[in-house]
Amino acid sequence: MIIKIHQACSTKNALFYNERKVERQKASFYHCQNMPVMNPFLADKNDRYRIFEEIEERNTRVKKPGLHISVNPTVSDLVKLGDTGIRNEIGKLMEHLGYGHQPYLVYKHADIDRIHFHIVSTRIDCETGKKIKDNYEREKTQRFIKSLEQKYGLTKDENPQKLNYRFSGSSKNLKQNLESLFGQLNQMDFISSKAMYDEALKMFNIEIRPFGKGYAAFVTDGMGNPVRYPIRLSEFDQRPNFYAERNLNQEVTFGVNQKIRFPETFKRELMKALVYQYRKEEKDPTRYLRKRKRIGRNRKGRWL
């Protein structure tokens, strides 16, 4: 996990940067804390900014009153912490840095090929009007990251950006990136059930659902609504664990409760016959047409 802290000269610029991402559907409202209203995301962006503006008006001498933090977890971090864990640890990070009592907003970003979070707050204390001490922020952040690694058993990836994937309706190289995600999740031993695997996929807006006689990977908007055409699992070289393709023609239903199952020997013989017929037609594609020509046409001019 990588955490970066920015000293913003303008809290308004930092806030509106995230708001523009939301308007362009490249970010979403994720979390808030210590706000004067129950859900500030229901109001206008100017109303959200005024919450910080009123606090900063108490101390106009501070040159960089804005607090802007980016939290960049890896795939493994997201899966191990989960959605609830991410929210809780962001709260603990703010407490660790001395901003636990401050109002702050959290945005979930999807503007690049990895999931990450932005936190916006103010460095002016909402209670005293004084500037909150920001000494040794980098050292404090590194200690916090180490505590997370020990608590959740996180590992350091050589290139975290390559291990994070963002999926939306406009994602490029979808099939390739999905295979990379499946490969990463398949190697995680702590994912021991299909339910855990599904929960991990939802962190990346991906769901595996029945599709025809098999399964397909759906990209959703985070609320379960598909945002682009699905890809069948049979098209992937690297497939997700706990999902085996359904056997075609495994059973045929007659009526409501009556079912007939074909034995394996019958299916094998059927496949042999189909392959033989296909090869026969492939060698002489005009064979069928010539056979019909020999028969001739009926009175209406249709082939017999």
Per-residue pLDDT tens listing for the chain (304 residues): 889 898 888 999 999 999 998 888 888 899 999 999 888 988 899 999 999 999 999 999 999 999 999 998 887 788 888 888 899 999 999 999 999 999 999 999 876 567 889 999 999 999 999 999 988 888 999 999 999 888 888 766 544 444 456 677 777 778 878 888 887 788 777 777 888 888 888 878 889 999 888 899 998 877 778 888 889 888 888 888 888 654 444 443 333 333 434 445 544 554 555 555 555 545 554 444 444 444 455 666 665 5
Residue 84 placed within a domain: yes
The neighbouring-strand residues paired with 124 are 131
Residue 184 phi/psi, 5° resolution?
-65, -45
- Closest C-alpha among 218, 200, 201 to residue 209: 218
- Non-local CB neighbours of 116 within 8 Å, separated by 6+ positions: 70, 71, 72, 73, 109, 164
**What is the pLDDT, as a whole number, of residue 218?**
92
Residue 240 placed within a domain: no
What is the rounded CA–CA span in Å between residue 286 and residue 31? 66
Please indicate, yes or no, whether residues 51 and 105 belong to a single structural domain of this protein.
yes
Residue 246 placed within a domain: no
What is the rounded CA–CA span in Å between residue 73 and residue 186? 18
What is the rounded CA–CA span in Å between residue 245 and residue 217? 12
CA distances from 72 to 27, 61, 130, 160, 163 (A): 14, 32, 30, 8, 11
Please indicate, yes or no, whether residues 127 and 175 belong to a single structural domain of this protein.
no
Please indicate, yes or no, whether residues 71 and 175 belong to a single structural domain of this protein.
no
CA distances from 177 to 50, 180, 229, 263 (A): 40, 5, 16, 38
Q: Which domain holds residue 274?
A: 251-295
Name the residue type at position 62: V
- Residue 216 in tokens: 């397909």
Please indicate, yes or no, whether residues 180 and 192 belong to a single structural domain of this protein.
yes
**Number of domain units in the chain:** 3
Residue 303 placed within a domain: no
Of 161, 188, 219, the position where a domain reaches its end is 161
Residue 252 phi/psi, 5° resolution?
-120, 135
Please indicate, yes or no, whether residues 269 and 130 belong to a single structural domain of this protein.
no
Residue 244 placed within a domain: no
Residue 57 phi/psi, 5° resolution?
-65, -15
Residue 20 phi/psi, 5° resolution?
-65, -35
Residue 266 placed within a domain: yes
Please indicate, yes or no, whether residues 88 and 105 belong to a single structural domain of this protein.
yes
Please indicate, yes or no, whether residues 136 and 155 belong to a single structural domain of this protein.
yes
Please indicate, yes or no, whether residues 142 and 78 belong to a single structural domain of this protein.
yes
**What is the pLDDT, as a whole number, of residue 15?**
93
CATH of the domain at 61: 3.30.930.30
Residue 246 phi/psi, 5° resolution?
-70, 140
Please indicate, yes or no, whether residues 105 and 9 belong to a single structural domain of this protein.
yes
Of 136, 161, 186, the position where a domain reaches its end is 161
**What is the pLDDT, as a whole number, of residue 160?**
45
Residue 54 placed within a domain: yes
Please indicate, yes or no, whether residues 40 and 17 belong to a single structural domain of this protein.
yes
Please indicate, yes or no, whether residues 187 and 203 belong to a single structural domain of this protein.
yes
Of 95, 130, 161, the position where a domain reaches its end is 161
Please indicate, yes or no, whether residues 22 and 131 belong to a single structural domain of this protein.
yes
Residue 260 placed within a domain: yes
